[in-house]
């Protein structure tokens, strides 16, 4: 009976994984960190009670219903994740809470928050680092996400203060927590595990700050192997070791108990166990179909938006590509308030480019982000902002708030790229005015 239940769980897990791959392949995390996280899942997850549980059925079912009402990559991801955990606990037995947090850490949502929403934090961090260095006698100043000292630029990018280091620190913290849980056969409650991870996040941010100072003081360029070496040292010294000490203290007075063996699992194969999965799978299939329908609707809007003097191409998801001899312009249509926008910091990195010298600028009353893009010896200059056809904005929350309450026509993302920075600055006001007028007409 137990073997049959494992086969049932494997079948359901394969179905949920297939739904993600079929409908959201481009959204799935494909980094080494995400793969490592999945490989650690058997260690992070262990059975804590003999009885089966339906506690993850309701989050999975609720998120599946919401994804039908509000088609969202985030809702689709977490609906599949909670449904998968419901399958494990419904057929094999109740597990600990750490897999829930792993699902968050390796999720594309976490990547988006780290790479995009953390950008204002990175600007503050670079400014704070420069001021700290000045206080101890170094001649340093911050310009956007760049710290300049003795004529050398040091970049506070998403690799230094984003997905790679924060996720690595949190993943290592989860492994430390799982080690002590297994050692004492005693699991942390959901709230307590979450509180410890918040502490781990604070430690990871502190580790990044210390790493930044070390890289600047010792003038370690990004091409030097010690650039990554300092990162590894910071994560181990400022995150993993403190978490090990904290967990050792937390579990110190707990007596060691034998862990439950597979023979203790209580099988459950009633209709009550299967029915929620049938409903969730049906809803996710319908949501996947709605994703295609929404993409078609956005593509229908695209032909109405034009820029004179450019050759236009309508790309997937209704993204408009305009190009001429000197400029490349992307007009990216509005998305749901729950979805990630087509942010250049994500899209250009997917094409192999690395962002440098990111900063806020203002020309002719237009505020925008600018950056240089590097891919080997190739260098480009790019700028981007949001507009709804009447106003322009840089704030992520502004367009999400507008989309949530249905205000206006929705904010498009405008991304202008050129080979020459001066050409970009010269032509940007004209592009801003024309794109705003074109969007206002759609």
User: DSSP for 53-116?
Assistant: --TTHHHHHHHHHHHHHS--HHHHHHHHHHHHHHHHHHHT--B-SHHHHHHHHTSHHHHHIIII
Structure-derived torsion over alpha carbons of residues 246, 251, 252, 258, reported in degrees to the nearest 10:
-150
Domain identity same for 104 and 205: yes
Tell me, yes or no, whether 383 lies in a domain. Answer: yes
Where among 228, 253, 278 does a domain terminate?
Answer: 253
Task: Look at residue 69 and tell me if it is in a domain.
Answer: no
- Quick one: pLDDT at residue 218? 83
Residue 66 lies in a domain: no
Residue ranges of the chain with per-residue pLDDT less than 70: 1-3, 27, 114-120, 144-145, 151, 155-164, 222, 258-269, 292-304, 316-317, 337-340, 349-351, 403-409, 442
191 and 309 together in one domain: no
* pLDDT confidence of residue 302: 55
324, 239: one domain: no
One domain for residues 243 and 387: no
Say what percent of the chain tops pLDDT 70. Answer: 83
Predicted pLDDT at 200: 96
246 and 309 co-located in one domain: no
pTM: 0.78
Is there a domain that residue 77 lies in?
no
Name the 3-class secondary structure at 261: coil
pLDDT for 228 equals 76
Residues 103 and 226 in one domain: yes
Give the separation between CA 287 and CA 285, rounded to whole angstroms: 5
211 assigned to some structural domain: yes
| Total number of domains constituting the chain | 2
Do 211 and 319 fall into the same domain?
A: no
The mean pLDDT of the chain is 82
Range of the domain at 311: 305-441
What are 50-109's pLDDT values in tens digits? 788 899 999 999 999 999 988 888 899 999 999 999 999 998 889 999 999 999 999 887
Q: Specify whether 312 is located in the same domain as 237.
A: no
Q: Report the C-alpha dihedral over residues 25, 28, 34, 37, rounded to 10 degrees.
A: -90
If asked whether residues 119 and 247 sit together in one domain, one would say yes
326 and 238 both lie in a single domain: no
The answer on 328 and 243 residing in a single domain is: no
Identify the bridge partners of residue 362 per DSSP, sorted by sequence position: 367
Write the Ramachandran bin of 144: left for phi over 0, alpha for psi from -120 to 50, otherwise beta: left
Enter the tokens of residue 184.
């004492």
Residue 340 sits at φ, ψ, to 5 deg, of -75, 140
The reply to whether 329 and 403 lie within a common domain is yes
416 forms bridges with which residues in the sheet?
329, 383
| pLDDT computed for residue 120 by the predictor | 67
Is residue 162 situated within a structural domain? yes
């Amino acid at each position: 009976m137990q073997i049959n239940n494992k086969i049932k769980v494997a079948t359901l897990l394969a179905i949920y994984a297939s739904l993600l791959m079929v409908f959201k392949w481009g959204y799935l995390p494909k980094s080494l960190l995400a793969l490592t996280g999945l490989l650690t899942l058997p260690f992070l997850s262990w059975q804590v009670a003999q009885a089966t549980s339906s506690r993850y059925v309701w989050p999975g079912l609720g998120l599946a219903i919401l994804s039908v009402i509000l088609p969202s990559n985030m809702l689709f991801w977490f609906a599949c994740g909670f449904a998968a955990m419901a399958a494990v606990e419904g057929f094999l037995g109740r597990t600990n809470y750490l897999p829930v947090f792993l699902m968050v850490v390796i999720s594309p949502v976490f990547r988006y928050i780290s790479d995009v929403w953390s950008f204002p934090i990175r600007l503050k961090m670079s400014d704070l680092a420069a001021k700290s260095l000045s206080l101890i006698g170094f001649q340093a100043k911050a310009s956007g996400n760049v710290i300049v000292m003795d004529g050398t630029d040091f970049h506070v990018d998403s690799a230094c203060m984003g997905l790679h280091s924060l996720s690595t620190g949190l993943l290592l913290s989860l492994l430390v927590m799982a080690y002590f849980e297994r050692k004492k056969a005693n699991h942390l409650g959901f709230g307590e595990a979450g509180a410890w991870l918040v502490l781990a996040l604070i430690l990871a941010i502190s580790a990044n700050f210390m790493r930044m100072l070390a890289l600047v003081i010792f003038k370690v360029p990004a091409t030097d192997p010690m650039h990554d070496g300092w990162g590894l040292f910071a994560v181990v010294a400022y995150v993993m070791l403190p978490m090990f000490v904290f967990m050792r203290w937390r579990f110190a007075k707990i007596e060691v108990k034998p862990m439950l063996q597979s023979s203790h699992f209580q099988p459950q194969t009633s209709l009550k166990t299967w029915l929620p999965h049938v409903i969730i799978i049906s809803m996710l299939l319908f949501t996947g179909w709605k994703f295609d329908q929404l993409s078609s609707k956005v593509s229908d809007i695209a032909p109405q938006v034009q820029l004179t003097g450019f050759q236009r191409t309508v790309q997937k998801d209704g993204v408009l590509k305009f190009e001429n001899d000197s400029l490349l312009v992307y007009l990216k249509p509005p998305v749901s308030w729950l979805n990630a926008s087509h942010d250049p910091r994500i899209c250009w990195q997917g094409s192999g480019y690395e962002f440098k010298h990111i900063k806020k600028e203002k020309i002719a009353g237009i505020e925008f982000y600018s950056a240089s893009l590097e891919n080997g010896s190739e260098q480009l200059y790019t700028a981007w902002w949001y507009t709804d056809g009447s106003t322009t904005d840089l704030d992520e929350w502004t367009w999400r708030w507008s989309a949530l309450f249905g205000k206006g026509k929705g904010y498009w993302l405008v991304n202008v790229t050129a080979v020459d920075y001066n050409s970009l600055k010269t032509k940007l006001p004209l592009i801003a005015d024309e794109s705003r007028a074109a969007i206002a007409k759609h």
